Amino acid sequence: MTELVDATNQQSRDDVTEQVLAIARRAKIASRALATATRGTKDAVLEAIAQALVENSVRLIEANALDLERGRATNMKTGLLDRLALNEERIIAIADALREVASLQDPVGEVVRGSRLPNGLRLTQVRVPMGVVGMIYEARPNVTVDAAALSLKSGNAVILRGGSAAASSNAVIVEILRETLETQGLPADLVQTVDPFGRPGGVALMHARGLVDVLVPRGGADLIQTVVRESTVPVIETGVGNCHIYVHEDADVEMAVNIIVNSKTQRVGVCNAAETLLVHKDAAERILPAVYAALAAENVTFHVDPEAATFGADGPVFVEATDHDWATEYGSYDLAVRVVDSLDQAIDHIRTWTSGHTEAIVTASYEASERFIAELDSAAIMVNASTRFTDGGQFGLGAEIGISTQKLHARGPMGLPELTTTKWIVRGEGQIRG
Amino acid sequence: MTELVDATNQQSRDDVTEQVLAIARRAKIASRALATATRGTKDAVLEAIAQALVENSVRLIEANALDLERGRATNMKTGLLDRLALNEERIIAIADALREVASLQDPVGEVVRGSRLPNGLRLTQVRVPMGVVGMIYEARPNVTVDAAALSLKSGNAVILRGGSAAASSNAVIVEILRETLETQGLPADLVQTVDPFGRPGGVALMHARGLVDVLVPRGGADLIQTVVRESTVPVIETGVGNCHIYVHEDADVEMAVNIIVNSKTQRVGVCNAAETLLVHKDAAERILPAVYAALAAENVTFHVDPEAATFGADGPVFVEATDHDWATEYGSYDLAVRVVDSLDQAIDHIRTWTSGHTEAIVTASYEASERFIAELDSAAIMVNASTRFTDGGQFGLGAEIGISTQKLHARGPMGLPELTTTKWIVRGEGQIRG
């Protein structure tokens, strides 16, 4: 009996793989129509999608109600239910976001470099679309629109794999996107979803090497690690942020406290929030009591090493820190705190535990700031500024696809150009190689 | 008995994995010493290595003799034996190549972009080393020096996995490299090899994700595909070139013949050599007899479709072309030839069969050239020029690590900057996010 079930499962997995590959082949063919489309055409599509979503609000909200109902029936947490919910206002916000993407410069066609070679050949390296982008993400339906908009603006076809919790909403969104593409004279297959195939559909997408050009996972650490491990399609790894703040011996108390409070609590669930505070031993007495007071007011729990614990009067909630704390991206009102003997020890600590996202130093010392910049190997280094600035919008890059913590292709906040590649073009009059 | 052997093998694989991970950890630590080294330091190391190799010629040639002896004993082909062989002259050429890498600009420290943000923060994106580069390559011992030189110049530690045929030569080269690093005051572990662990060492290297930052396979299609399939470390895929030349209806005969002969025969074993010729039906009568005559003089075998066969008088060697021919990178004196009805059919053919390396068009038509450029999705497009120009040296990029046929991170000829990543640096006065 077991063998029979296994055979059936295998058969069904093979079917899914075949259907997902067919989707990817259709995406590749559709992508050619968009690769040479002008910015005007692409922006018109985004505007038409914005209008269509608003016009179809009722249809969308009805589908979303089914997701919410399923969520409540399975005891989904209030926070998640809220992120899942759509209403008129949120649909208008999604439409506005589409118009913002339309307002961004088209990355396609940018001449990256070029020269005239000694033999007279004219060489240019030009930005072109990737082709087919795969996006694997979690529950929020607005990400469906967002991912499609960024892919289309950068000239790519997109294949979506959304969270099953938002399945009904996403299905209707994809319908609306495809209808709009057709009314705009473009192939509907520029936007496709593998959601009907469930988890095996996502796995098949990760193995569609040669048809899908890049896969971008957006979501929690588990999702991202699964994609990185499983995928044979090249992946852009995003988002895990175990960010550090180091307060040097000479730091200004007010500046340090402001940066720490902002980095930790301005928004706790995001990847650029601070998770560990390292304080130089000669600054601990000046800085730590003020930090504890300010953050205790925000109900932060402190995971402290023995020395950091000595600077807490009554008030702060202390838990003894273990290696687990140094390694953790809390994403909550928790902060690991350690007193270090020197800048060197701070650098060692960060090298050992960082996820390579963002590190900040607070210091008055030129030498300390330059060493911190040079010796740490993370995507972003802040000197006397909040870790929260590592963000595509804040950096002036426009819409953000994610924050890459890998070194290949993209590092730190990614804008539209990171969804493109380049092509070398050589123009001549019959030149041959001697 | 079988179980016992399996257990022993597993034990031995686990040991190799542990030892390769230890090598990778040492490489990561050593890489920090080089990440902040100046160009002066790095160029001095390359010069010292050049001198050391020449001074140790006898030792090197003795080791190489062992490889050659083993090669002859196992009936290695003459061509391969020749590529494997070292002598005084070749060692001087290797030293010269090192000095050429030293003469190249240092990619590290280049400011890629930057701006002052509205809140006064100064943002710069700066080029930094990857960290640890893995190189997996085949038999030529000069590649060992070359791979190490490119890695060191770009500020990276390198872990080498060379072909077993060159094991004795490579072992001595790595010894000399490590000795020289130490005399220059740098960690010897900037250059390490996993060759003593054989094939399992290479596999362990492919799985050292998080310690090895990028893996660059250099060699034949089988090697590259194995690395791409097996590796969890990000890979830069290089080199498979099924390159096409399309001759449009209006092409000049002399220009077409020159470009075809140069692209096919100037050097046949390389990835930018042409493998398939597509000729517009209205040009076939003018072009093909001249092409057959010119290439028959070079003993080229033609793999032809039925129509292309009709233009051959006696002389050329014809074989009937199958799909296998359209798909093949011959790397030999063979050329697939097809007559097409139109530019559209040529584009369709190339889209179906190309490996995405280089395609050339020969035409007098502006429209045809622009469509060929826009509608094909390969790393390099040549208009009225030989496919052989897709090369780092020819493009003026200096030393070439390889030619990437992937879309992520690097595409086409790769120079030193492709062995680096970037880091965002933000300098402020206590700015926090509102």
CB-CB under 8 Å, B234 with A407: yes
Tokens of B176: 């000399």
Contacts of A415 (CB under 8 A, 6+ apart): A104, A107, A392, A397, A398, A399, A400, A401
* Mean pLDDT of the region B404-415: 92
Contact B407 A421 (CB under 8 A): yes
CB–CB contact A431 B384 (8 Å) = yes
Q: Which of A377, A413, A430 is nearest residue B131 as measured by Cβ atoms?
A: A377
The CA dihedral of A279, A283, A289, A295, to the nearest 10 degrees, is -40
Preferred mutation among A115, A405, A426 to probe B, highest tally of B CBs within 10 A: A426
Which of B72-76, B113-117, B231-235, B387-391 has the least mean pLDDT?
Answer: B231-235
Query: Which comes out higher in pLDDT, residue B361 or B232?
Result: B361
- Residue B7, class by beta-carbon neighbours within 10 Å (0-12 exposed, 13-18 middle, 19+ buried)? exposed
| Burial grade of B44 (CB within 10 A; 0-12, 13-18, 19 or more) | middle
For residue A400, what pLDDT is reported? Answer: 80
Q: What is the mean pLDDT of residues A377-402?
A: 92
Q: What is the pLDDT of residues A89-127, one digit of tens each?
A: 999 999 999 999 999 999 999 999 999 999 999 999 999
> What pLDDT is attached to residue A316?
78
Does pLDDT of B109 surpass 60?
yes
Domain ranges of chain A: 14-238+415-424, 243-394
Closest chain B residue to the Cα of A263, Cα to Cα: B432
- Name the pLDDT band for B129 (thresholds 50, 70, 90): very high
Mean pLDDT over A19-32 rounds to 97
- Give mean pLDDT, residues A335-343: 98
**Quick check: A374 contacting B, CB < 8 Å?**
yes
pLDDT in tens, B192-201: 999 999 999 9
| CATH code of the domain occupying A14-238+415-424 | 3.40.605.10
According to DSSP, the β-strands at A243-247 and A214-218 are: unpaired
Q: Which one is predicted more confidently, B139 or A365?
A: A365
How far off is chain B from A424, nearest CA to CA, in Å?
5
- A364 to chain B, closest Cα gap in Å: 10
Please tell me the CATH superfamily of domain B243-394, with its number. Aldehyde Dehydrogenase; Chain A, domain 2 (3.40.309.10)
Give the sign of the dihedral formed by CA A414, CA A415, CA A421, CA A427.
negative
- pLDDT on residue A163: 87
Whether the predicted pLDDT of A237 surpasses 90: no
Chain A residues in contact with B36 (beta carbon < 8 A): 374-375
Strand partners, A161: A136
pLDDT (tens digit per residue) in A75-92:
999 888 998 999 999 999
Q: Which residues contact B7 (CB under 8 A, 6 or more apart)?
A: none
Among chain B residues, the shortest Cα distance to A393 is held by B117
CA distance A356 to A197: 34
Q: What is the pLDDT of residue B239?
A: 73
Backbone angle region of B282, left / alpha / beta, with phi > 0 → left and psi within -120 to 50 → alpha: alpha
Q: Which residues of B touch A375 (CB under 8 A)?
A: 32, 35-36
Q: Looking at residue A144, what is its pLDDT? A: 93
Residues of B in contact with A394 (CB under 8 A): 117, 433
Average pLDDT of span B122-144: 93
Q: List % helix, strand, coil for chain B (3-state, nearest 5).
A: 50, 20, 30
Per-residue pLDDT at B245 = 98
- What mean pLDDT do residues A177-192 have? 98
Mean pLDDT calculated for residue range A277-299:
95
The nearest alpha carbon in chain B to A215 belongs to: B408
CA A247 to chain centre: 28
Kindly calculate the radius of gyration of chain A based on its CA atoms and give it in whole angstroms. 25
Nearest residue in A to B431, CA atom: A385
Q: Identity (one letter) of the amino acid at B318? A: F
State the Cα–Cα distance between residues A423 and A260, nearest whole angstrom: 44
Residue numbers of B between 392 and 411 with CB closer than 8 Å to A: 394-396, 406-409, 411
Any B CB within 8 A of A381 CB:
yes
Q: Tell if the CB–CB gap between B430 and A375 is shorter than 8 Å.
A: no
| Phi, psi values for residue A101, rounded to 5° | -60, -40
Going by the DSSP 8-state scheme, the letter that residue B161 receives in this structure is E
Band of residue B3 on the pLDDT scale cut at 50, 70, 90: low
**Inter-chain touch B369–A427, beta carbons under 8 Å:** yes
Structural contact between residues A234 and A214, judged by C-beta atoms closer than 8 angstroms: yes
Interface probe, candidates A36, A389, A400, chain B, greatest B C-beta count within 10 A: A389
Nearest to A335 by CA among A382, A369, A295: A295
Tell me, what's the pLDDT at B261?
98
Per-residue pLDDT tens for A152-169? 999 999 999 998 899 999
Residue A97 forms contact with B (CB below 8 Å): no
Total CB pairs under 8 A between chain A and B? 201
Whole-number pLDDT of residue B221: 79
Instruction: List the one residue out of B280, B275, B348, B268 whose CA is nearest residue B308.
Output: B280
Q: Tell me, what's the pLDDT at B161? A: 96
Q: Which of residues 216-245 of B touch A (CB under 8 A)?
A: 228-229, 232, 234, 236
Average pLDDT of chain B to the nearest whole number: 93
- Scanning every residue of chain A, which has its alpha carbon at the shortest distance from the alpha carbon of B371? A36
Q: Which residues pair with B424 in a beta bridge?
A: A380, B125
> Hey, are the CB atoms on A36 and B232 less than 8 Å from each other?
no
Integer-rounded Cα Rg, in Å, for chain B is 25
Residues of chain A with C-beta less than 8 angstroms from the C-beta of B394:
117, 433
Answer whether residue A6 shows pLDDT above 70.
Answer: no
Residues in chain A: 434
CB atoms within 10 A of CB B433: 16
Please state the rounded mean pLDDT for residues A22-49: 96
CA distance B260 to chain A (A): 9
CA of A407 vs chain B CAs: smallest distance (Å): 6
What's the pLDDT at A26? 98
**Rounded Cα–Cα distance for residues A136 and A154 (Å):** 18
Inter-chain touch A433–B375, beta carbons under 8 Å: no
What is the per-residue pLDDT for A7?
Answer: 61
Q: What is the mean pLDDT of residues B135-142?
A: 87
pLDDT by residue (tens digit) across B22-81?
999 999 999 999 999 999 999 999 999 999 999 999 999 999 999 999 999 999 998 889
Whether the per-residue pLDDT at A409 is higher than 80: the answer is yes
Nearest CA-CA distance, residue B407 and chain A, Å: 6
- Portion 342-371 of B in contact with A at CB < 8 A: 362, 369
Is B266 in CB contact (< 8 Å) with chain A? yes
Q: Which ipTM was obtained for this model?
A: 0.91
Buried b (16+ CB within 10 A) or exposed e, A369-401: bebbbbbbbbbbbbbbbbbbbbbbebbebbbbb
Q: What is the mean pLDDT of residues A211-237?
A: 88
Cα Dmax for chain A: 82
Chain A 282-341, residues with CB within 8 Å of chain B CB atoms: none
B29 and chain A in contact, CB less than 8 A: no
Q: Are the C-beta atoms of residues B363 and B343 closer than 8 Å to each other?
A: no
Confidence bin at B94 (pLDDT 50/70/90): very high
Q: Please name the residues between 122 and 181 in chain A that touch chain B, using a CB distance below 8 Å.
A: 123, 125, 128, 130-131
Q: Is a pLDDT exceeding 50 seen at residue A2?
A: no
Look up residue A132 and give its DSSP letter: E
Closest alpha carbon within chain B to A265: B433
Domain spanning B13-238+415-424, CATH class? alpha beta
